[in-house]
Chain A
């Protein structure tokens, strides 16, 4: 691969992968909001 293609590809793919990973990681580790929230799986009582 030529240098300009390689640099462009690696930098773009790296940035996109890191941002995707970081946002999804945040989704996974952020504590759920107090009930009633939007999600039924963490409800104490069945809806």
Chain B
């Protein structure tokens, strides 16, 4: 039987660990893409407004809730929230604070493992001499877990397990001995790498090393404000969403870290320092790397097209090729810096994701830290494997949507209501200001009580009923068409296309076009259907089939429409994997709820129900 006696080593260590928790891939890959897609420089206005009325209040709520719960020996959100109000429901709301971390960590560690792999490949010159297309194909091959780019079988899996083992080992060393040490090295390192790349990106000169634009062209493109975009609710929702992802609020990890603080220790200055450090990395460094470098070599039109596939695609499919233009030594250095900063951003976040679940097991079931770390690693491995093996079938995206997006908003909304209205702002404000080393403006009493919950309700409603094409102008409940990515749209499987049965004996085309080829790649067969969109860009769609099980009904040159049969034979459609991923996530949530119930019963039996 072991008592949870964890502690932070130093105040700077805590601030860096909290900043590291917040700084993640999104700072470098998501923020600039969101800015490009939502009004350029004007995006910074709703973004900073969201930071002030949503981000800072949520930071204060989570830090103070955590410290409050820690006073009773609770270090995970089920019992932290339970200590704030005795009604049973809050313990189960708190389940989100363990669930999100576990579910996100299971795909986030996979993402993190890509950066380790790309550091390896940058150092060993894998990308030397590859064309842009070949670098993009390298990434596609890497994601196909059965393909090896190094000769190591199941390479993507090996790197994932390596990354997971590293996380587990660090977590087993404890807060001050593991997490804090990594933060003290990782956060400064990522800032140094970021400054190097930002300087390199901004000082790009057209005509040198194959660049077609100066680096400042990219900055100009990113920062030129389109103020008309501010009238579009989509831009405000995107800004609020970015604040969520970037600060790691609504997850439960901040409460867990803060729960190891004592009553009289400051949280006001610490939370501001960690929060603004994240903003520095995002706004100053994040905006000066991928967009200026990509526009420098590829031009604005190409980068706008590439941002359509998201920041991850830009980072992993394109950046290694761009670094190659700087010559063998500098490209290796740039590759190590870029993927190194992503690695440090990732690992400081994934360690934070490991802590709540481990603290729960240590508090409630008296697990030792090494045992809890191994337990965490095992769960993440089991949950992470489907995202690796069924990445192309959309399992990774399902985890990201439900655990990494929807859960955060739901949890943040409920914790804001608990803090402001149930626990009560009078007590809440006392918690925030207790031991504070800075004076917090009184306006935040009003913002935390009224503005933040209302904004969260708007954000949640926006995500729930987001309209098709993000057109909010014609609100009509009877004719409202949901966006494919709205929560209701997702539940309805909107946009899934004609292959909407789990199992079928025919497979239909999911977009119109011309069959331009049937080909074999990595011992797998594909049909490629292409169409030219209104902008003149060719959009290709590849459908995989098995030539020994399926009978092709089309040949190159055939024109197909959506719903036309491409081949016959037994098929397991993508929707099956999507639904299984959802069921798996739901099962995890229910299992954690069951553990919370069991822990509560145990507390009652042991007479530990001190809250």
Contact = CB atoms under 8 A, between A and B. Distances in A.
B451 interface: no
A32 B10 CA distance: 10
Contacts of B48: 12
Contacts of A36: 262
Given A5-B41, A8-B44, A38-B262, A28 B12 contact: yes
A32 B437 contact: no
A26 B437 contact: yes
B265 A27 contact: no
Contacts of B13: 39, 41
Given A4-B41, A4-B225, A41-B10, A23 B220 contact: no
Contacts of A24: 15, 273, 276-277
A9 B219 contact: yes
Interface in B197-248: 216, 219-220, 223-225
B7 A39 contact: yes
A41 B176 contact: yes
A15 to B, nearest CB: 9
**Most chain-B CB neighbours within 10 Å: which of A13, A20, A32, A38?**
A38
Interface in B19-76: 40-41, 44, 48
A1 B219 CA distance: 8
Interface string A1-23: 11011101100110011011001
Interface stretch (B278-286, B313-321, B419-427): B278-286
Contact of A40 (B7, B12, B225): B7
Contacts of B219: 1, 5, 9
Contact of B10 (A8, A19, A33, A39): A39
A30 B277 contact: no
A12 to B, nearest CB: 5
A38 B216 contact: no
Main secondary structure of the interface of A (DSSP, over half): helix
Main secondary structure of the interface of B (DSSP, over half): helix
Contact of A37 (B176, B265, B279): B265
B90 to A, nearest CB: 25
B270 interface: yes
A20 B40 CA distance: 23
B176 A8 contact: no
B110 interface: no
B223 A5 contact: yes
Interface residues of A, number: 29
A41 B9 contact: yes
Nearest to A40: B7
A42 B246 CA distance: 32
Contact of A5 (B224, B260, B270, B284): B224
B9 A8 contact: no
Given A2-B220, A23-B273, A38-B260, A16 B280 contact: yes
B266 A30 contact: yes
A5 B11 CA distance: 38
A27 B216 contact: no
Interface in B260-278: 260-262, 264-266, 269-270, 272-273, 276-277
A30 B269 contact: yes
B23 to A, nearest CB: 12
B5 interface: yes
A23 B265 contact: no
A9 B277 contact: no
A27 B44 contact: no
B276 A23 contact: yes
Contacts of A19: 276, 279
Nearest to B437: A30
Nearest to A25: B273
B10 A42 contact: yes
A27 B270 contact: yes
Interface in B521-563: none
A28 B14 CA distance: 12
Contacts of A4: 41, 224-225
Nearest to B435: A33
B422 to A, nearest CB: 27
**Most chain-B CB neighbours within 10 Å: which of A4, A27, A33, A47?**
A27
B272 A16 contact: no
Contacts of B159: none
Interface in B275-323: 276-277, 279-280, 283-284, 287
A19 B279 CA distance: 10
Instruction: Kindly list the 5 A-B residue pairs having the minimum CB-CB distance in the complex, ordered from nearest.
Output: A23-B273, A5-B223, A20-B280, A9-B223, A1-B220
Interface of A: 1-2, 4-6, 8-9, 12-13, 16-17, 19-20, 23-24, 26-28, 30, 32-33, 36-42, 47
29 contacts: A5-B219, A5-B223, A8-B223, A9-B219, A9-B223, A12-B283, A16-B276, A16-B279, A16-B284, A23-B269, A23-B273, A23-B277, A24-B15, A30-B266, A30-B269, A33-B264, A38-B7, A38-B262, A38-B265, A39-B7, A39-B9, A39-B11, A40-B7, A40-B8, A40-B176, A41-B9, A41-B10, A41-B176, A47-B7
Given A5-B41, A32-B11, 13 more contacts: A1-B216, A2-B224, A5-B40, A5-B223, A9-B223, A12-B48, A16-B283, A20-B276, A20-B279, A23-B269, A23-B277, A26-B437, A40-B7
